[in-house]
Chain A
Amino acid sequence: MFSEAAVREIQEIRAKYPTARAALLPAIYVAQREFGWLTPEAYEAVSDLLGVPRAIARGVGTFYAMYRQKPMGRHVVQLCTNVSCMILGAERLVDFLKSRFGLEPGGTTQDGRFSLVIMECIGACGTAPAMLVNDDFYENLTEKSIEEILGKYR
Chain B
Amino acid sequence: MITVTINGKEIKLEKPVTVLEAARSAGIKIPTLCYHEQLEKYGGCRLCLVEVEKMPRLQTACTLMAADGMVVRTETEAIADVRRGVLEFLLINHPLDCPYCDKAGECELQDLVEKYGPTTGRFKEKKRKAPESLEDPVLVRNMERCVVCTRCVRMCEGVQGAAAIGVINRGGHSHVEPFSGGRFECEYCGNCVSACPVGAIMSRLHRHSYRPWQLVSETETICPYCGVGCTLVAQVRDDVIKRVVPRIGTPVNNGLLCSRGRFGYEFVGSKERLTTPLIKKNGVLEQSTWEEAIGFVARRLGELKTRYGGDAIAGIASPRCTNEDNYVFQKFMRVALGTNNIDSTARTGYAGAQAFIENIFGQGATANLIPGLANADAVLIAGGDPTAVNPILGLQIRSCARKGGNILTIGHVKGVRHYNPAELKPNVHTEAALLEGVVTALKEKKGLPGSIQTLESKIKEIHRPLDDAARTCGVTEKDLAAFVEALSTASTPALVIGKEVIQSAGGSYNLLLLSAVAYLVNARIHLLSERANEQGVVDMGCAPDLLPGCRPLSYVEFRRRYEAAWKSPIPEKQGMTIFDMIDAAKAGSLRALYVMGENPVFNLPNAKGVEAALRGLELLVVQDIFMTETARMADVVFPALSWAEREGTFTNMERRLQLLRKAVNREGMEDWRIVVEVAGNMGVRMHFSSAEDIFAEITRVSPLHRDLSYEELEKSGIYPYKGEPLRGVTGDIAVAKPAAGDGGGLFLGIERPLFHSGTLSRRAPGLVKIYETAVARISPATAAARSLKEGDMVRVSSVIGYLELPVAVDFAVRDALVMITNNFEGRGALSLMELVLDPVLRAPVADKTAVTIEKAGR
- Is there a contact between chains A and B in the complex with CB atoms less than 8 Å apart? yes
Chain A residues near B (Cβ < 8 Å): 40, 43, 51-56, 58-59, 62-63
Number of B residues with CB within 8 Å of any CB on chain A? 18
Which residues of the other chain, A, contact B418 by a CB distance below 8 angstroms?
51-53
In the docked arrangement, what's the CA distance between A45 and B163, Å?
Answer: 17
A62 to B174, CA, bound (A): 9
C-alpha gap A16/B855 in the complex (Å): 48
Chain B residues closer than 8 Å to A52, beta-carbon distance: 418
Decide: B420 and A55 in contact? CB cutoff 8 A. no
A52 CA / B167 CA spacing, docked (Å): 15
A55→B166 CA distance, assembly (Å):
5
B178 at the interface (CB under 8 A from A): yes
Select A58's contact among B153, B168, B420, beta carbons within 8 Å: B168
A43 touches B179 (CB 8 A): yes
Q: Chain B contacts of A51 at CB under 8 A? A: 417-418, 420
Nearest CB in chain A to that of B163: its residue:
A53
* Cβ–Cβ contact A63 & B169, under 8 A: yes
Give the interface SS of chain B, mostly helix, strand, loop or mixed. mixed
Which residue, B157, B165, B179, has most C-beta atoms of chain A within 10 A? B179
Q: How far is the CB of A117 from chain B (nearest CB, A)?
A: 16
Q: Which of A43, A54, A55, A58 has the most C-beta atoms of chain B within 10 angstroms of its own C-beta?
A: A55
Among B164, B168, B180, which residue has the most Cβ atoms of chain A within 10 A? Answer: B168
Query: In the complex, what residues of A have CB within 8 A of residue B178's CB?
Result: 55
Q: In the bound complex, how far is the Cα of B177 from the Cα of A46, in angstroms?
A: 18
Q: Are B169 and A58 in contact (CB under 8 A)?
A: no
- Across-interface contacts of B169 in A (CB, < 8 A): 62-63
CB-based nearest A residue for B184: A55
The reply on B281 being an interface residue by CB < 8 A is: no
* A65 nearest CB neighbor, chain B only: B170
User: Which residue on B lies nearest to A20, using beta carbons?
Assistant: B420
With A55-B164, A58-B179 in contact, do A63 and B420 touch (Cβ < 8 Å)? no
Residues of B within 8 A of A62 (CB): 168-170
Could you list some 26 contacts between A and B, CB below 8 A?
A: A40-B179, A40-B180, A43-B179, A51-B417, A51-B418, A51-B420, A52-B418, A53-B164, A53-B418, A54-B179, A55-B164, A55-B165, A55-B166, A55-B177, A55-B178, A55-B179, A56-B157, A56-B163, A56-B166, A58-B168, A58-B179, A59-B153, A59-B166, A59-B168, A62-B169, A62-B170
Closest approach, in angstroms, between the C-beta of A24 and any C-beta of chain B? 13
Q: Which residues of A contact B420 (CB under 8 A)?
A: 51
Question: What residues on A are CB-neighbors of B157 within 8 Å?
Answer: 53, 56
- Write the nearest CB–CB distance from A95 to chain B, whole angstroms: 25
Q: Contact: A55 with B163, CB < 8 Å? A: yes
Assembly CA distance A40 to B181 (angstroms): 10
Give the complex CA separation of A43 and B164 in angstroms. 13
Q: Give 7 A-B pairs besides A55-B177, A55-B178 with Cβ atoms closer than 8 angstroms.
A: A51-B420, A55-B163, A55-B166, A55-B179, A56-B157, A58-B177, A63-B169
Q: Which residues of chain A are near B168, meaning CB under 8 Å?
A: 58-59, 62
CA distance A51 to B417 in the complex (A): 8
CB distance from B643 to the nearest CB of A (A): 34
Docked complex Cα distance between A80 and B669 (Å): 76
Given A51-B418, A55-B164, A56-B157, do A63 and B179 touch, yes or no (CB 8 Å)? no
A13, chain B: closest CB distance, angstroms: 18
Complexed CA–CA distance, A62 and B418 (Å): 21
B237-249 Cβ-contact flags toward A at 8 Å (1 or 0): 0000000000000
CA gap between A128 and B169 in the complex, in Å: 29
Q: In whole angstroms, how far apart are the Cα atoms of A54 and B157 in the complex?
A: 12
Q: How far is the CA of A62 from the CA of B177 in the complex (A)?
A: 11
A53: chain B residues at CB < 8 Å are 157, 162-164, 418
List B contacts of A54 (CB < 8 A).
Answer: 179
The distance from the CB of B133 to the nearest CB of chain A, in whole angstroms, is 15
Q: Mark B137-164, 1 if CB is under 8 A from A, else 0.
A: 0000000000000000100010000111
**Chain A residues, CB < 8 A from B164:** 53, 55
- CB of A52 to closest CB in B, whole Å: 8
A59 and B157 alpha carbons, distance in the complex (Å):
12
Residue of B165, B166, B420 with most partner-chain A CB within 10 A: B166
A58 / chain B contacts, CB cutoff of 8 Å: 166, 168, 177, 179
CA–CA, A62 and B168, complex, Å: 6
CB distance from B143 to the nearest CB of A (A): 14
Q: What are the residues of chain A within 8 A of B163 when measuring CB–CB?
A: 53, 55-56
The smallest C-beta distance from A54 to any residue of chain B, in angstroms, reads: 4
Closest residue of A by beta carbon distance from B168: A62
Which residues 154-203 of B have a CB within 8 angstroms of A? 157, 162-170, 177-180
Whether the pair A63, B170 counts as a contact (CB closer than 8 A) is: yes
Closest chain A residue to B811, Cβ basis: A48
CB-nearest residue of chain B to A54: B179
Minimum distance in angstroms from B810 CB to a CB of chain A = 14
How far is it, in angstroms, between the C-alpha of A56 and the C-alpha of B179 when the chains are bound?
Answer: 8
A contact residues around B166 at 8 Å (CB): 55-56, 58-59
Give the distance in Å from the alpha carbon of A56 to the alpha carbon of B150 in the complex. Answer: 13
CA distance A3 to B515 in the complex (A): 46
Q: Least Cβ distance of A63 to chain B in Å?
A: 5
Please give me the residue from chain B that is nearest to A43 by CB atom. Answer: B179
Interface centre among A40, A53, A58 (most CB of B within 10 A): A53
Complex interface bits, B406-439 against A, C-beta within 8 A gives 1, otherwise 0 = 0000000000011010000000000000000000
Nearest-neighbour CB distance to chain A for B170, whole angstroms, equals 5
| A145 CB, min distance to chain B CBs, angstroms | 33
* Residues 478-531 (chain B) with a chain A CB within 8 angstroms: none
